[in-house]
Amino acid sequence: MIPGAVAVTTQETVENADIVILALPLGQFRTLNPTLFEGKVVLDAMNHWFEVDGSLEDSIPEGQRTTEAVQQHLHGAHIVKALSHMGYHHLRDESKPRGETGRKAIAFATDDTAYNETIEKFIDSLGFDPLFIGRLSASRPLESGVSAFGANVTSDVLKQLVGGTR
């Protein structure tokens, strides 16, 4: 048991959140009720893992980005691909204050650029430099098995891994 933890429903969590982070097996996102997420900023931190999700085509149509499939399902939400390229242990252990040398970066992509400032502030509050890489269609480098996946690097290096920013 975790001290201070309180069990709540998905509905209670989403209703009381300014930003919702999806961190569940990719194959499970369609179990979420889309109306619950309407108007919410939703960070898609999910990745496809064959061992858990089976074939990628079992979760999303061939050729589609994982986050685009999430956006299609949660059509009333403001979807952002973020927190998916860096391992949880780096997120936990390597945050640094803004301006500190060697501060790592977290890339994000969204079609709803009106929320960029909100996402940038959130990522900064976690202790990382935010790096906007463009629309959701540009999010492929953040998915498992691609150039930026597993990247625990500074903003300059991350820009190179994702092919620049949009």
Structural domains in the chain, CATH included, are 10-162 (3.40.50.720)
Question: Nearest 5 degrees, angle CA 109-CA 114-CA 115?
Answer: 60
pTM, rounded to two decimals: 0.89
Round to whole Å and give the CA distance between 50 and 65. 16
Question: Nearest 5 degrees, angle CA 133-CA 135-CA 139?
Answer: 65
User: Model confidence over 102-130: pLDDT tens digits?
Assistant: 999 999 999 999 999 999 999 999 999 99
For residue 136, the 8-state DSSP code is: G
